[in-house]
Structure 1
Amino acid sequence: MEDVKMEQTQVLDMLAINVEADLGNSNLKIFVNNEYVTVPNVFKRVHGAIESYEPDIDKNVMNLLDELYVHITSCAIERDGSFLVGERAMKKGRPKGMNIDYGKKHAEDLPIISVLSVVAAKVIQQIYKEKKTLPKVLSLNVDLITAIPASQHTPDTAKMLSNRFQEKEHVVIVYVGGEKVTVQIEFSRARVTKEGATSLFAMIDGEQDMYKEFQNLYQEKLKGIEVTGEYFTNKKILHVDIGDGTTEYIYTINQKPVLGNCTGERQGIGHALEKACKLLNKKRDTNYNRHQFAQIVLHDNKDQEDAQGFLYETRYEESESIIESVEEKYNEETAGQAEIIAVYGGGSIGLRAEFYNKILKFCDKRNILLFYVPEKYAITMNPLGMNKLRKAMDSK
């Protein structure tokens, strides 16, 4: 009976998959059929077979995203090949991440490799959970919503990235322990917007505790109003989405981005990490990259004290740069009309100690309300916004 069941799952009908992907410089944050996943946005090209020593199929499927090893055949990347992706790539020397100084997300291979690999792996996990058997072949029809920095977004760059996903089929072989699953992926749609432009949808449809700090901060000004997402629906908001490599300055009026007034700068916590990493490498004669340096800062390590000391200084410089840009964008892009400044993104967490008091002082002086999104929600505002946007569009 088991053999029959396994035979039935060799090749499944084409599956319709909805994906919302935030192509972060540090982490890929992605919804695959409404299931949220985040992995380090890095890969390492490998040559030759990698042996698997874990025979337990349940464990291999459960740990698939942490041990992601794939072969990709795709016209969208410069060269087909085998790759370690995410956490597994982090364990092997110097993985390739996004160049935060010169990288262009629409043209790089990293977003393609990461999205294809993670979508394929996540769907395998979903199928295995449902059927308790591992398919040999999967065919996916993907509807993708993603974004690139406002500073890089033009009709041409958006179309270029969209076409890279849509024009040809991609084949991903995912190694699940000693087994292989071939995943054929077609993209029926690949919509590319500006980073930060969809976050308003997460803001106006958030959990109630998202607004608690804002409510307490402005209790007197709010005069008894209980803040919910609806409070932000008809406001002029300057969004400051602080990422790893870029900070997006998105101006929205009544739930709509003012597209000509949305810009981005090469600013973010990643630049502070990059500068601090160079200082550590110089002192220790090491060759760490930004991603490895971040792990040293977070975890017990012989170089942790030096790393944290260097980062303490470079975070201050980066927060100064961002506050200067906030003032410029407020005056030039909103003509001084923004009523609320909303701050979120992974960098808003890493820079909060240096940035929060500066931005609050800026807002108080100009009679602006500051909505500093809590850490619990700050990182997921973009992919969650895309996910909620899709649901709103599908319900019409």
Structure 2
Amino acid sequence: MTEQNVSVVENIKVVVEADLGNSNLKIFINDKYVSVPNVFQRVHGGVDSYESNEKKNVINLLDDLYVHVTSGAIERNGSFFIGKRAMRNSEKMKAMNIKVDNKHEEDLPIINTLSVIAAKTIQNVYDETQSVPDILQLDLDLMTAIPASQHNPKTAEFFSERFTSNTHVVIVYVGNRPVTVKIECSRVRVTKEALAALYAITEAPDEMFKEFQELYKKRLKDKKVTGDFFKDKKILHSDIGEGTSEYIFTDGLTPVLDSCSGERRGIGHAIEEACRLLNKERTTNFKRQQFTEIILDKNDKYHEDAKEFIYDTRYEQAELIEEDVEEKFINDTGGRAEVLAVYGGGSISLRNELHAKLLKFCETTGMMLLYVPEKYAIELNPKGMNALRKIID
């Protein structure tokens, strides 16, 4: 494609579904999926870029994201490293506070969501024109969610208005070149976390149900299981995240809103405690996200220590979640749930501790266990919002 002069691009319609995870920001931007560590680092003074190749800078934009955000929605305007770039300095990196029930009040979700949308749109414009613009003007239609334990009409409206009542300006640095992205939010909808996942389940590929099919082949009389199977079922959802676990009860395709709640449980609490133990043992200063990187990297010199500490703290969280599921089944569903659906990033990390316990509980109560495979577990919420939008819009 030949290079075009695109100094100013106006009225770009951007449709977004954003899962504001405590670990990762998982987001569909015009149906394109992006996942970025949900952390930032406030930056003071200028930052030089040592890469002069414009194409490389655009390609690596989300990994090296440096922005300045001006918005009435946040407490203080400023410059930030976002995502992976912020993780390079543990001392100054800020993550979501998983110990406090105020996701709708925090600045981090606003800053990171706007920054990633701005950066991804620059990449999209470059892909189409082979040119980096100077100014972009976006019209944003956003669907997102906050934990069920924090969600009510007042908090949902408050969070929505932080986007809609302000004009947001994000200056994204493509190398040393600033690109000004002006964002106006024409519509923002805030639902409960896990509520939309049902739609991802009903639209999921058959592969997601392979384990479920095998587990219940006699009970199902070898009937093939697809997403349609779950459309008329009473389902207790357990969405295990980093800082909270959401328990949603759906009857067919309808949520039973009075039976939806959340608890401060999740793999993040296990990681924070294990991280504290590692820092004490090794005189380090790792943060939650960096501890996760150590766990994932078998060649890291602290991997074995981290693995040992997380082994015990993980079990404690699994016990609490199991107790939650039992209590929600009795009190929130009145024993009516037919399926227990377990997913979310925490369900992957806690599978060894949780699966057998939950399967036994399901056998006792007559429920069927849909423990969503790792390949699908993390993306179920943003995919659900993406599917839900196409149904209701």
**Secondary structure class of the residue paired with 1:341:** strand
Per-residue CA shift, 1:118-138, capped at 9, x if unaligned?
000000001100111111100
The residue number in structure 2 matching 1:32 is 29
Amino acid across the alignment from 1:277: C
Q: Of 176, 188, 191, which residue of structure 2 is paired with 1:190? A: 188
Whole-angstrom CA distance in 2 between matches of 1:110 and 1:103: 14
Structure 2 counterpart of 1:132, from 110, 130, 133: 130
2:368 maps to which residue? 369
Alignment of 1:337 onto 2:336 = yes
Residue 250 of structure 1 aligns to a residue whose secondary structure is strand
Task: Report what 1:148 is aligned to.
Answer: 146
Once the two structures are overlaid, the 10-residue window that deviates more, 31-40 or 295-304, is 295-304
Residues 90 and 285 of structure 2 are in contact (CA less than 8 Å); yes or no, is this contact kept in structure 1? no
Give the partner amino acid of 1:80. Answer: N
In the TM superposition, what is the alpha-carbon distance from 1:103 to its structure 2 partner?
A: 4.7
Q: Which amino acid aligns with 2:39?
A: V
Map Cα deviations across residues 222-252 of structure 1 (whole Å, 9 max, x no partner). Answer: 0121111100000100000000000000000
Distance 2:81 2:176 in 1: 15
Normalised by the length of structure 2, the TM-score is 0.98
Please give the TM-score of this superposition, normalised by the length of structure 1: 0.97
Which residue number in structure 2 is paired with residue 20 of structure 1?
A: 17
- Sequence identity percentage: 58
Q: Deviations over 1:17-69 (max 9, x none)?
A: 10000000000000000000000000000011110111111110000000000
Paired position in structure 1 for 2:74: 77
Aligned residue in 2 for 1:219:
217
Q: Tell me, what secondary structure is at the counterpart of 2:219?
A: helix
Stretch of structure 1 that moved more, 301-310 or 170-179: 301-310
**Residue of 76, 86, 89 corresponding to 1:89:** 86
Q: Map 1:260-275 to 2 at 5 A.
A: 260-275=258-273
Indicate the SS of the match to 2:327. helix
Does 2:201 align with 1:207? no
Structure 1 residue aligned with 2:178, among 156, 180, 191? 180
Equivalents in 1 of 2:122, 2:225: separation in Å? 41
Deviation at 1:298, TM superposition (A): 1.6
1:284 has 2:282 as partner: yes
Whole-Å separation in 1 of the counterparts to 2:22 and 2:281: 26
Aligned equivalents of 2:149, 2:252: Cα separation in 1: 23
Cα deviation code 1:96-124 (max 9, x no counterpart): 00111115110000000110000000000
CA RMSD of aligned residues (A): 1.0
Runs of 4+ in structure 1 deviating by more than 3 angstroms, as ranges, are none
In structure 2, runs of 5+ residues without a counterpart are: none
- Structure 1 residues 254-292: Cα deviation after superposition (integer angstroms, max 9, x where no partner): 111111110000001101101111111222222221111
In structure 1, stretches of 5+ residues that fail to align are: none
> What is the rounded CA distance, in whole Å, between the counterparts of 2:166 and 2:289 in structure 1?
32
Name the SS for the 2:120 alignment partner.
helix
* Residue aligning to 2:241: 243
Matched residues in 1 for 2:133 and 2:45: separation?
A: 24
SS at match of 1:13: strand
> Given that residues 26 and 379 in structure 2 are in contact (C-alpha distance below 8 angstroms), is that contact kept between their aligned partners in structure 1?
yes
Q: Count how many residue pairs are aligned between Structure 1 and Structure 2.
A: 390
2 CA distance for matches of 1:201 and 1:103?
26
